[in-house]
Every structure is written in C-alpha cells, then in structure tokens.
Amino acid sequence: MPSWQSYIVHPVLRFYVKRRLARAISPQQARAALGTSMPSPPGIVFTPGTLGGIAGEWAEGPGEARGTLLYLHGGGYFTCSPQTYRSITGAYAKRGLRVFAPDYRLAPEHPFPAAIEDALAVYTALLAQNPAASLAIGGDSAGGGLALATLLAARGKALPMPVCALLFSPWTDLAATGASVTTNARRESMLYAPRLGECASHYLAGADPRNPLASPLYADLSGLPPLLIQVSEMEILRDDSIRLAERARVAGVSVDLSVWRNLPHVWQVSQNFLPEARKALDQAAAFAKTALASGGGPA
C-alpha cells in the first residue's frame, strides 16, 4: 500500500516543478525548475575529486565500503550536478558503498556524445585503480540512460564490465516511442511530456534519437552485467524501463525490474521524506552488495 507521504508529494511537484517545466522555453529556465537539492543523510562526507580528467565528488560513509559505485546524475542531460543528487549518493554511501559522481558536461553547450565521453573516461580511470569485480554503475533518468551508454561504450572498447547497474527510471528512448509518454502525461507529476522532445533535441543536436549510445533501448544489450531497474507505474518514462527490461532479458541479461505504485519520477531522491525512497535505496544497495560479493559479471 502506498504511504500517506506519497499522496502529498504529487501536488507539491506539480506546483513547483511540472508547472515551471511547462512554462520553460529555454534550457536555462528548465534548469531553474530542476536545480533544487534534497537533503543528504547525516554522517556522509563529500569530497571533491577528479577521475580521468573529469571533476566530481566522492560520497563516503563512516564504515568500510563494500565496493565503488560510479553514479551518473539525472537532469535531462542539460541540468543538475553531483551536488543536486547528494540525497541519493549519500544514501548509497550510508549503505556501505563508496560513490563517485562526476560533473559530466551538459547540453546544449556540450551535446551528445560529450556526456558519454566523460563518463567513459571516469569508468576507465576507476578500472585503472580497481578490479572490475569491485565496481558498480548507476544513475537516474538521463543518468540511467547514460549509465547504460557507458556500459555499451566500454563494451565497444573491450573493457571489463562492472558487477551490476542500478537504474532509477532510466531514460532509454530519446525518440519517445513508449506508450506511457502519452497515457501517463496527465498522471505524471514531475515531467512535462510535451517538452520531452525539446529536451532530447538539446542533447542530440541533430544526432539520430535511435542511436544506441543516445537511446540504449535500441542497442544490442548482450554482455551487459545484471540490471536492477526501478520505475513508477505513473511515469511518462515507465515504458522506457519495461521495454528495456524485456529487450535485456531477450539478450540474455539478468534483470530485476520493479514497478512501484503512486510515486513520482526518481522518487528515490526524496529519501528524507518518502519511506518508499528508503526502501528502494535499500533494495538497490542490497542488489549491488550481493553482486559485489559474488564478483558479478555478465548474466
């Protein structure tokens, strides 16, 4: 049963985020709508760092880490930062993972494939310092799509895979062909469906929206590590997750897909308020630690 908190969060998001996104006529205005940071868990240390020439920050908890998570933040490829997502990276750190969140380049100033180049540089640097069996990758929304694109780019260079990928409401289809983009347009409390194509165009800058590195839904997914995918049934991006899971399974990839009720896009960011966010993060961290303990590898 959905929590009472989940019924409160929707009108708040509709008023403070979705309404502003609907009125935004430029990336700069949309950035103002999405740039709010949520509180991180107490006791987490955030430290600036650089990997592969890409600046970012480490999130570390008080105990010994079980492994390292490369976390790629969301924001439609044009906004937000590691600091915006400290509630998630800090929650992972609290649950026993050492987290690095890169400040990858954003569109429209730096369009596709700049974000992938940065994420791959960070992943390559992590591999130079750690065995692949001690690494996981994750991301939310555009960052979830970017995590998949990073895996595809790494596979293309014959780099070893991390033990798993943790994906929150990943944006996997920039062509926006999923039925939920239309059927959930009114139910969605955060993202404004008519602006989805504009958001994609800022990132693509003329590139094919079905390019597998831009839209991993269209990729050959074979050889990827186990995937954990969490999405809400009322999101416009719901079908990006469901179809990804279907295609990954056909490709022989192990997938743990959970579809949650009555929750907004990337509800995990609200871990200080939503009990479902804490439960989702518990599930994701446990998935990662199980994969790390077993050494992971392709399904």
Tell me the catalytic residues: 141, 235, 265
Which residues, 6+ apart, have CB-to-CB distance to 180 below 8 Å?
Answer: 235, 236, 237, 238, 239, 240
CA–CA dist 240, 218 (Å, integer): 11
Rounded-to-10 torsion of CA 262, 267, 268, 271: -90
Query: Which alpha helices (DSSP H) does the chain contain, by range?
Result: 4-13, 19-23, 27-34, 86-94, 114-129, 142-156, 180-183, 196-204, 238-250, 275-294
Could you give the C-alpha distances from 149 to 115, 169, 176, 206, in angstroms and in order? 10, 15, 17, 18
CA–CA dist 167, 229 (Å, integer): 5
